[in-house]
Amino acid sequence: MTEASWGDTTESPEIPWRMSASLENVPRGDSELAEVTSLEGAVRAWLALDPSHRNAANLSVEHAIQIDGVSVTTFAGEGIAVLAERLPDHGSS
C-alpha cells in the first residue's frame, strides 16, 4: 500500500511559464482584445490590473497545467491568483 504525501511534486509539477497564454476580458484602450503572451507575462499583466478587472479576467493556456493534482487549461479570478503565488522571482517573459 502506498501512502499519500501532501508535498508530492507530482501533484503540482513545475509550471512552464514560457508557454503561450491568452489574457481575456481586460480593457485594452477602447476595446477588450485578448492579449497573447507567455504565461508569466499574462499573470504579471493580471497582477497590474485593478481588482474589478482582475475579477472579470480569464486566462487560457496553450497546454493544461497540473496544480494540486488537477489539470487546468483556463483560469479566472482566484485561479489566476494561485498562479501568481507561484510566479518565479525573475521576469523571463
All 3 cell numbers of residue 6? 501532501
pLDDT band at 68 (very low <50, low <70, confident <90, very high): confident
Neighbours of 25 (CB within 10 A): 13
Does residue 14 have a pLDDT over 80?
Answer: yes
Does residue 12 have a pLDDT over 70?
Answer: yes
* pLDDT at residue number 89: 84
Q: Is 12 helix (H, G, I), strand (E, B) or coil?
A: coil
* pLDDT at residue number 90: 64
Arithmetic mean of pLDDT over the chain: 83
All 3 cell numbers of residue 16? 512552464
The mean pLDDT value for 24-53 works out to 84
pLDDT in tens, 42-60: 999 999 999 988 999 999 9
All 3 cell numbers of residue 48? 497590474
